[in-house]
Amino acid sequence: MSKITIRNIQPPDNPYLSKIIKDTLTEFGANHPGTVYYDPTTDALYELFQTKGAGYFVAELDGKIVGGVGIYPTEGLPDDTCELVKMYLLPHARGTGLGRTLIEKSLDFAKQTSYRQVYLESMPELQQALKVYEKFGFEYLKGPMGNSGHTGCSLWMLRSL
């Protein structure tokens, strides 16, 4: 049986997570300008998630990094709202329940950090992820909230905690 570990991000994780994010976006044809693919912070996630109110969780399968997810207080969002960000898994880790575990961990962190709503941005190319978000009660919005700078995202969702 595989050993799954969920832990907080560490500095040496940066290159592994950046590659997972960029490879996943490429896999789904979602590596457009205006997405995290071209966001310089994708290469420095540990540093980015040292922000107050932020947390990033790394998923390991048998000691190897297979993905992660974060909660971030994106600029321009209401004070009680955070963003679910950079949720990516390698192909062999999908469909294992690991994505669900990561989202649950993120929502728990958001509640403990006193957020009342979780916002996210996505793209039509990421159908698998969209279905998971819907199962968690995220509802589609007509337009974006906050100032993520990710103009390549055309779908926006919100969930109350």
In the chain, % helix, strand, coil (3-state, to 5) comes to 35, 25, 40
Q: Which domain holds residue 101?
A: 4-160
Residue type, 154: S
DSSP string, 11-36: GGGHHHHHHHHHHHHHHTT---TTSG
Query: Could you read off the pLDDT of 67-77 as tens digits, one per residue?
Result: 999 999 999 99
* Cβ–Cβ under 8 Å, residues 68 and 99: no
Residues in CB range of 104: below 8 A, 6 or more apart: none
Under the banding of pLDDT at 50, 70 and 90, the label for residue 1 is confident
pLDDT band at 150 (very low <50, low <70, confident <90, very high): confident
Report how many domains make up the chain: 1
CATH of residue 126's domain is 3.40.630.30
Model pTM?
A: 0.94
